Amino acid sequence: MTSSPTVYFNHGKESGPWGTKIQALAAVARDHGLAVESPDYQFTYDPDERLRYLMSLEPPSGRQLILIGSSMGGYVAAHASQRLTPAGLFLMAPALAMPGYTEQPRAHANAIEVIHGWHDDIVPIATSWQFAAAHHAALHCLDDGHDLRHQLERISGLFDHFLARLLGKPA
């Protein structure tokens, strides 16, 4: 890649733009020399309104973008990837195929990884299995719940390797 992409974080339904996971992963992205954006979606619980808001920010597209999403933010990131075709899509416990949400997205990215907790009692892990299978994405099932707070160090390591691969750096 000739220039570094920008990482856009998409937080979950009841979290904020700079929660613990985002702060940890933002530090990893910055260590790779990447710019970081984390829009604040706390004004709405509507996933499609969050998607419209993200698109109104006019994020870069293609190789200049990496989308990250947690829970409802995973829904936003996956759907945004259909239009933006980012270099990478990194999803954590993505709220896909949930009641009241539109259909499961057909994501578009050069690389896709999904993290999900075995003990998630909010988003069924089966939705991540189905999504990963449909997209030939790496799926990491961790011993944790929906918020993945007990596996933050492991997730940071997975994200570091994901970015290294995207950026053509040794892992």
* 152 part of a folded domain: yes
How many H helices and E strands in the chain? 5, 6
pLDDT in tens, 65-84: 999 999 999 999 999 999 99
Give the separation between CA 19 and CA 118, rounded to whole angstroms: 22
pLDDT in tens, 18-61: 999 999 999 999 999 999 999 999 999 999 999 999 999 999 99
* 146 part of a folded domain: yes
CB 123 within 8 A of CB 101: no
pLDDT in tens, 73-123: 999 999 999 999 999 999 999 999 787 777 778 999 999 999 999 999 999
* 150 part of a folded domain: yes
CB 59 within 8 A of CB 42: no
- Supply the pTM of this predicted model: 0.95
Alpha helices in the chain (DSSP H): 20-31, 47-56, 72-84, 125-135, 152-167
CB 86 within 8 A of CB 66: yes
Counted domains in the chain: 1
- Domain encompassing residue 99: 6-167
* 29 part of a folded domain: yes
* 18 part of a folded domain: yes
Q: Give the domain CATH number at 93.
A: 3.40.50.1820
φ/ψ (deg, to 5) at 72: -60, -30
* 1 part of a folded domain: no
